[in-house]
């Protein structure tokens, strides 16, 4: 039986073991998957200990996604672009770092919500690690435009500069929340505002008719951002689908099979 885990601190809340156990049953893969609490001052030691125990791969969550970049001996293009690693593959060639967050978000939008990104106007709120990880996968779907809005405009501008070279030339732009102009087909909240029950200071006019509003956070009830979006006619998605889809992407990296996600997503939703 091959062993996998998720590293974090704290980690008790993680739904990853439940998700991967369901994928293993569905695809007939003989694996175990556990939560591992890594010490804040020795993430690398915790990973090496797991490898020594025969671990084949791991997911990485808060607060170790940046440390995982340093630990990896090779990075995929999307991990390098994100500047963060959430999936580790332990191979004969060493530790490979990948980032499946953006692919998970895009899969949730395109497959689960049934909303194409190609040719659409996309608004990303925030410019932190969560947003950085999704820019390249969104650009790969060729949106008409991608605007990154942030309280500190300089941070958003840094992202624009970085991603202009990766297919975003003339497509990606940055602005402050107050400077957002026009309407958008897809509005993604990647700020931490939902944690403190706040809505990013955006005008209700950003929601085009029939727009999709997605919050990377999730809970039993819609976040305040999603409540705000609902008042202005948007269709809503929270971050649970992204969680399930990024796990499917990681599972495929490790096992070479892509699990079906719909039943796992609805099962998790029912337990919120």
> From the annotation, which residues make up the binding site?
14-16, 61, 86, 101, 126-130, 150-155, 216, 218, 239, 246
Residue for token pair 């003989």:
30
CA distances in angstroms from 190 to 180, 213, 214, 260, listed in the order given: 16, 11, 9, 26
Q: What are phi and psi of 203, to 5 degrees?
A: -75, 145
Binding-site residue ranges for shikimate: 14-16, 61, 86, 101, 218, 246
Question: Is residue 10 a contact partner of residue 255, using CB atoms and an 8 Å limit?
Answer: no
Q: Which of 65, 70, 120, 271 is catalytic?
A: 65
Residue for token pair 């293993």:
24
Q: What is the DSSP letter of 169?
A: T
Token code pair at residue 87: 């999936």
Q: What is the DSSP letter of 221?
A: S
Q: How far is CA 19 from the centre of its chain?
A: 15
Q: Alpha-carbon distance 166 to 138, whole Å?
A: 11
Is residue 120 among the annotated active site residues?
Answer: no
Residues β-bridged to residue 178: none
Quote the strand ranges of the chain, DSSP E. 2-8, 31-37, 55-60, 74-75, 87-91, 94-98, 121-125, 145-149, 172-175, 184-189, 207-215, 235-237
Q: What is the DSSP letter of 239?
A: T
Q: Alpha-carbon distance 147 to 124, whole Å?
A: 6
Q: Alpha-carbon distance 55 to 48, whole Å?
A: 9
Token code pair at residue 164: 């202009």
Q: Alpha-carbon distance 210 to 95, whole Å?
A: 43
Catalytic residue ranges? 65
């Amino acid at each position: 039986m091959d062993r996998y885990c998720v590293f974090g601190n704290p980690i008790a809340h993680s739904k990853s073991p439940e998700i991967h156990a369901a994928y293993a049953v569905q695809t007939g893969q003989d694996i175990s998957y556990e939560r591992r609490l890594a010490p804040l001052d020795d993430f690398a030691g915790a990973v090496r200990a797991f490898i020594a125990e025969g671990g084949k791969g791991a997911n990485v969550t808060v607060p170790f996604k940046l440390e995982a970049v340093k630990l990896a001996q090779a990075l995929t293009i999307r991990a390098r672009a994100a500047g963060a690693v959430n999936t580790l593959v332990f191979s004969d060639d060493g530790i490979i770092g990948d980032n499946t967050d953006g692919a998970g978000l895009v899969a949730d939008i395109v497959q689960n919500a049934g909303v194409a990104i190609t040719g659409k106007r996309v608004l990303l709120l925030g410019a932190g690690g969560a947003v950085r990880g999704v820019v390249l996968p969104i650009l790969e779907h060729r949106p008409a435009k991608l605007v990154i809005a942030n309280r500190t405009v300089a941070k958003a501008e840094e992202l624009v500069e970085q991603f202009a070279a990766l297919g975003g030339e003339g497509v990606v732009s940055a602005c402050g929340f107050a400077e957002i102009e026009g309407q958008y087909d897809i509005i993604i909240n990647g700020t931490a505002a939902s944690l403190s029950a706040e809505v990013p200071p955006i005008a209700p006019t950003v929601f085009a008719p029939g727009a999709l509003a997605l919050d990377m956070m999730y809970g039993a009830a819609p976040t305040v951002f999603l409540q705000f979006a609902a008042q202005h006619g948007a269709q809503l998605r929270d971050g649970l689908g992204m969680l399930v889809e990024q796990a499917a992407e990681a599972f495929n990296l490790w096992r070479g099979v892509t699990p079906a996600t719909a039943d796992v997503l609805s099962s998790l939703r029912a337990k919120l």
